[in-house]
A and B are shown apart, each in its own frame.
Chain A
Amino acid sequence: MTPEATKTTAIKATGLMKWFGEGEAKTTAVKDVNLEMWFGEMVYIVGPSGSGKTTLLSLLSGVLKPDAGTVIVEGTDIWHLSNDKLADFRLNKVGFVFQDYHLFPRLTTAENVAIPLILRRKSWSEALVEAKKYLDIVGLASRADLPPVKLSGGEQQRVAIARAIAGQPDILILDEPTASLDGDTGHAIVTFVKKNILNEKRCILIVTHDSRITELATRILKMEDGRLTGWEKGGDQ
């Protein structure tokens, strides 16, 4: 029995295609991508700018509809779901850490983390109590009542991670998590994610072109011109 045979599939994409524009301006961003990811993995998608990494990430996470192909997440073809079901899928199954964090500057740190819980119809006070638990996990319990603008870049990144995991998603998506951070902080953040957030029931997908953190990946998928050009095992294999 191969190691893959014992793993549970988190995401399976087949024949994924995505293009933008019409006529002569038509650009194919993702070309016939086939891949499979398992729970317990931290997979990196790497490649040069414009290679289609972020587009692929969006197709896999239910954010951008492919022009062809299927994305099966835990047995469900997500692109056959209605808009409401797809929104529920993103809310309940996926956690996002955006490149620019997209924290709400007018809310406190705890309120930012509570947003997915509020969208899940939890009461305000209940969501805040729970949000503080996740802030504690990322080591920011003492910053719960501060607005995000009072935090450093690394701390804001951790708040974004706390918000992403607040809904206990099966799939965690991090888009360029180290892009706005210095080398040490970026490394520390991804190390933290690997140690504290990754588990056997979760698949973490990271888009990056930061070579300093590749040692932390389980697998690294390489992209170029919209195609998967290969993969290699990460530093922990």
Chain B
Amino acid sequence: MKGILKLAYKLLVNDKAKFSALLVGITFAVFLMAAMTSLFAGVLNRASATVINLGASVWVMDPAVQTVANTIGMPDYILDAARSINGVDYAVPVYTGGALVKLADGAYQSVNVVGLDDTSLFGRPRLMQGKIEDIYGENAFIVVKDTEFAKLGNPRIGTEFELNDHRGVIVGIANVASSGLFGVPTLYTTYERALYYIPNPRFTISYILIAPKNPSDIPQIKKQVKALGYLALTKDEFMNKISTFYEFQTGLGMNLLIMTVMSFVVGLSISGQTFYTFVLENLEKFGALKAIGAKSRELILMILFQASFTALTGYGLGIGLCALVIYIAKLRLPDYAAVITWWNLGLALVMVIIIAAVSSYVGVRKVLRVEPFDIFRG
């Protein structure tokens, strides 16, 4: 069997022009599909940055919340009620909101402020410089060193700024798992200071972060929170909710889906057409093989191998090219959001398998119909 596959391989790769055209078609299609879906994955990942970075397993919010940035304040009694639910180990408030800071050079910069529970500092970032207890110091803020860090003038510990006419000072520099979607720097402080510095409506708790005693307590917690008229979601559920919003309610998902489908169609057209031509040009040879004694299933195996080999090689090249382009793009554009996930790789693989299947189906049909007698007839 190996010999037959090697024969198929040689017939394919020795036809350099056709093989190159096939590879270019599939590589290009995979590159486009992977680029589109990885861009989307990057956007979704960044859209859930606060959820990922704070890391709470259960989030309580107003049912109208659609994204983590779109907060609707909750009254304090909800926090008390949450703390009294059976199965809750602890529950803390968190504040997230936008603000405008005035830098030392007089420039203004939008920031995202995260106010952590004063007692527990639950969800605090990992510090690269400074000590976490300094967050309790006067006017203290911790800045996240991500791709937006430079927009605050590359601050150091001790750097001062103004936030709503209040003095702020950097006491720590942290890093987080994921940068935000909107291209603004992130500052961490205590919950109380956040409320004090930033003007707020009557209800001030953005989210309540809950640590359940056991994962099995989560359904009961969700039920109790729902009885209060609010919504409790696990981390994954909240991220899915955010993803669903961007996918279906912003047009972003649909546009990227259309681009992905177009890439697939382009890839399918180029590869299908080229492979069909390849089979057509070799049809007499396949007929000769049949006359010599090759069985139909051996010819099918050869065609499937040729299509699969081309598809997988093109897939590898396409993914490699996509990774290279993202790497180069990120060198030039730190905010570039694309990220290649297993999901992207899987989707592109499924698409490329479909391309290979359709291409080989056309070829197989043609080869099965060729009669060895046609070879004699010329």
A123 pairs with B377, CB closer than 8 A:
no
Cα–Cα distance between A127 and B10 once the two chains are bound (Å): 15
In the assembled complex, which residues on chain B have CB atoms less than 8 Å from the CB atom of A64?
Answer: 371-373, 376
Q: Which of A81-124 contact B (CB under 8 A)?
A: 83-84, 87-92, 94, 96, 98-100, 102, 104, 106-107, 111, 115-116, 118-119, 121-124
Residue B213 is within 8 A (CB to CB) of chain A in the complex: no
Cα–Cα distance between A128 and B26 once the two chains are bound (Å): 33
B3 pairs with A124, CB closer than 8 A:
yes
Given A107-B10, A118-B3, A122-B3; A102-B294 close (CB under 8 Å): no
A115 to chain B, nearest CB (A): 7
B375 pairs with A119, CB closer than 8 A:
no
In the assembled complex, which residues on chain B have CB atoms less than 8 Å from the CB atom of A111?
Answer: 7, 10
B293 pairs with A91, CB closer than 8 A:
yes
B116 to chain A, nearest CB (A): 67
Residue B167 is within 8 A (CB to CB) of chain A in the complex: no
Q: Which of B298-339 contact A (CB under 8 A)?
A: 298
Cα–Cα distance between A52 and B7 once the two chains are bound (Å): 34
Residue of B nearest to A147 (CB): B14
In the assembled complex, which residues on chain A have CB atoms less than 8 Å from the CB atom of B284?
Answer: 102
B interface footprint on A14-42 (CB within 8 Å = 1, 0 otherwise): 00000000000000000000000000000
A83 pairs with B296, CB closer than 8 A:
yes
B327 to chain A, nearest CB (A): 37
Cα–Cα distance between A94 and B288 once the two chains are bound (Å): 13
User: Which of B14, B285, B294, B296 contacts A119 (CB under 8 A)?
Assistant: B294
Cα–Cα distance between A122 and B295 once the two chains are bound (Å): 16
In the assembled complex, which residues on chain B have CB atoms less than 8 Å from the CB atom of A163?
Answer: 292
In the assembled complex, which residues on chain B have CB atoms less than 8 Å from the CB atom of A122?
Answer: 3
A-B contact count (CB 8 A): 87
Given A90-B291, A123-B2; A175-B376 close (CB under 8 Å): yes
B interface footprint on A122-146 (CB within 8 Å = 1, 0 otherwise): 1110010000000000000000000
B377 pairs with A54, CB closer than 8 A:
yes
B11 pairs with A87, CB closer than 8 A:
no
B293 pairs with A102, CB closer than 8 A:
no
Number of interface residues of A (CB under 8 A): 36
A104 pairs with B291, CB closer than 8 A:
no
Residue of A nearest to B12 (CB): A106
Given A107-B10, A107-B11; A124-B2 close (CB under 8 Å): yes
Cα–Cα distance between A55 and B373 once the two chains are bound (Å): 8
B293 pairs with A98, CB closer than 8 A:
no
A129 to chain B, nearest CB (A): 13
Given A87-B293, A102-B284, A115-B289; A123-B3 close (CB under 8 Å): yes
A interface footprint on B259-299 (CB within 8 Å = 1, 0 otherwise): 00000000000000000000000001101111111111010
B262 to chain A, nearest CB (A): 34
B295 pairs with A84, CB closer than 8 A:
yes
The residue among B3, B287, B288, B375 with the most chain A CB atoms within 10 A of its own CB is B3
A92 pairs with B293, CB closer than 8 A:
yes
B interface footprint on A31-69 (CB within 8 Å = 1, 0 otherwise): 000000000000000000000001101100001100000
User: Which of B4, B292, B298, B378 contacts A90 (CB under 8 A)?
Assistant: B292
Cα–Cα distance between A88 and B296 once the two chains are bound (Å): 12
Cα–Cα distance between A100 and B291 once the two chains are bound (Å): 14
B interface footprint on A152-170 (CB within 8 Å = 1, 0 otherwise): 0000000000010001000
A119 pairs with B298, CB closer than 8 A:
yes
In the assembled complex, which residues on chain B have CB atoms less than 8 Å from the CB atom of A118?
Answer: 3-4, 6-7
12 pairs, CB–CB < 8 Å, chain A vs chain B: A64-B373, A83-B295, A91-B294, A92-B293, A96-B288, A106-B14, A106-B15, A111-B10, A115-B289, A116-B293, A119-B289, A167-B293
